[in-house]
Amino acid sequence: MKVMYVCTTGGSGRRQLGGAERILTELIPAIAERGVDVVACTPDDDVASTLRASGISWIEMGARSRVDMAYARDVGSVVDSFAPDVVCTHLLSAAMHSRAALGLRRRKTPLVVTLHNSLWQYRDSASSFPHKAKIQSNIVIDGLLRRLRPHASVAVSRFEATELRTRGRVKNVHLIPNSLPAAWRSPLRSVEPKMPGPTRIGFLGRHEREKGIDFLPEIAALLPDHQFAVAGVGSISIEPTPNIDLVGRVDAAEFLRRVDCLVVPSRVESFGLSALEAISMGVPVVHSGVGGLAEVMESADGVLAFRARLEPAAMASAIRLAAAPVLPGRRLEMADRYAQEYAFTTFVERWHNLYRTLTHAAH
């Protein structure tokens, strides 16, 4: 079996290393280890360097603009030369251009699209009319291309699956929740006693409005006795203060080992990978409950997950509650349950089974 992966990380014009990109860097090598012949088509960025280091066959390819017909032609050219049994696209730009490339002449090649988000959620939370209009145009184009080139869609959460089925009227939807990383530590070995000093609050994610990074300065001002470690990069800058440290890109596991609580003030979220990682290590999470966060966190509600209104005072109050010292037994039990439910091996098996199903159906 041969699988071709297509992804323009972060869309045209910007690069990022978020949850979707991190998952790809582990999923593709894991599928290759199962004897699948794979090729990855991405821009030359962090995803590409990680895949090359894993020995994955890689072709530099990415959208240079919102509509890039040269990119669509490049996708079609690789389909013709590599002759994949399945084309698997991730994120919106790759999905749109791949559907255009496989629309007519290459219609028999099975196509899988994973957006990793809800376009309607992005539209509803947009901060300006021009931004809403741009996202609405993406929704319209996405809908037209789905009719032009029918394909399977993968949703990373029940929330995203419902959005596709009800708001997008998409019928062929497969649910494959995201997972913990391949080499994630056992929670029983990861949780450490609280270190002396101020309570440590972490933020781990892209520095973008949809992730709520702009809420952090006000939350931190309401908690002067707490120390905030802010990991990640992005287009929004916040200033360091006496209780805000900017630590850039980090190893997620090592970062989470050093915090007492993770805050996830997202406006847009179809899954919430950093929240899952924290809970699986016994680190409590204060979250906004938007989108897929609610379902991922629901089993840990009141133990390791604390939902709060998306405004600084409510978030600060929930942080004080979540970070309060407690007996660790129930939290460790909950962490272990999450580590098993979201195991990487189960995730890979689900994807591999989908590829085999689509390949058999095509023949």
Segment among 141-155, 206-220, 327-341 with least mean pLDDT: 327-341
Are both 129 and 203 inside the same structural domain?
no
Are both 38 and 18 inside the same structural domain?
yes
Are both 28 and 118 inside the same structural domain?
yes
- Residue 186 banded pLDDT, cuts 50, 70, 90: low
The pLDDT tens digits for 260-288 are 999 999 999 999 999 999 999 999 999 99
Q: What is the mean pLDDT of the chain?
A: 91
Q: Give mean pLDDT, residues 208-212.
A: 94
Does the pLDDT at position 15 exceed 70?
no
Q: What is the pLDDT of residue 327?
A: 65
| Of 104 and 143, more confident | 143
Does the pLDDT at position 188 exceed 80?
no
Cβ partners under 8 Å of residue 24, min gap 6: 5, 7, 40, 42, 47, 51, 90
Does the pLDDT at position 25 exceed 70?
yes
Q: What is the pLDDT of residue 10?
A: 58
Q: What is the pLDDT of residue 324?
A: 83
Other beta carbons within 10 Å of 20: 23
Range of the domain at 211: 187-341
Q: What is the pLDDT of residue 101?
A: 93
Concatenating the DSSP letter of every residue in 212-251 gives TGGGHHHHHHH-TTEEEEEE---S-----BTTEEEEES--
Q: What is the pLDDT of residue 328?
A: 74
Are both 121 and 18 inside the same structural domain?
yes
Does the pLDDT at position 348 exceed 90?
yes
Q: What is the pLDDT of residue 195?
A: 62
Q: How far apart are the first and last CA of the chain?
A: 12
Are both 109 and 144 inside the same structural domain?
yes
Are both 10 and 157 inside the same structural domain?
yes
Question: What φ, ψ does residue 244 adopt, rounded to 5°?
Answer: -125, 120
Q: What is the pLDDT of residue 223?
A: 97
The pLDDT tens digits for 54-87 are 999 999 999 988 889 999 999 999 999 999 999 9
Are both 23 and 154 inside the same structural domain?
yes
Does the pLDDT at position 13 exceed 50?
no
Domains in the chain, number: 2
Does the pLDDT at position 146 exceed 70?
yes
The model's pTM: 0.90
Q: Evaluate the CA torsion angle 116, 119, 120, 125 in order and state its sign.
A: positive
Percentage of the residues of the chain whose pLDDT score is greater than 70: 94
We report the CATH number of the domain holding residue 208 as 3.40.50.2000
Are both 150 and 196 inside the same structural domain?
no
Q: Which of 200, 197, 187, 156 is nearest to 174 (CA)?
A: 156
Are both 244 and 352 inside the same structural domain?
no
Segment among 169-178, 212-221, 230-239, 325-334 with least mean pLDDT: 325-334
| Of 240 and 192, more confident | 240
Does the pLDDT at position 363 exceed 90?
no
Other beta carbons within 10 Å of 352: 18
Are both 167 and 194 inside the same structural domain?
no
Long-range contacts of range 50-57, CB-CB < 8 Å, 24 or more positions apart? 50/25, 51/24, 51/25, 54/25, 54/28, 54/29, 55/29, 56/28, 56/29, 56/32
Are both 120 and 157 inside the same structural domain?
yes
Q: What is the pLDDT of residue 12?
A: 44
Virtual torsion, Cα 13, 14, 18, 19, nearest 10 deg: 0
Does the pLDDT at position 316 exceed 60?
yes
Q: Give mean pLDDT, residues 138-150.
A: 91
Please tell me the distance from the alpha carbon of residue 308 to that of residue 224, in angstroms, as a whole number. 19
| Of 1 and 329, more confident | 1
Q: Which of 265, 279, 259 is nearest to 323 (CA)?
A: 259
Count, residues in the chain: 363
Please tell me the distance from the alpha carbon of residue 100 to that of residue 112, in angstroms, as a whole number. 13
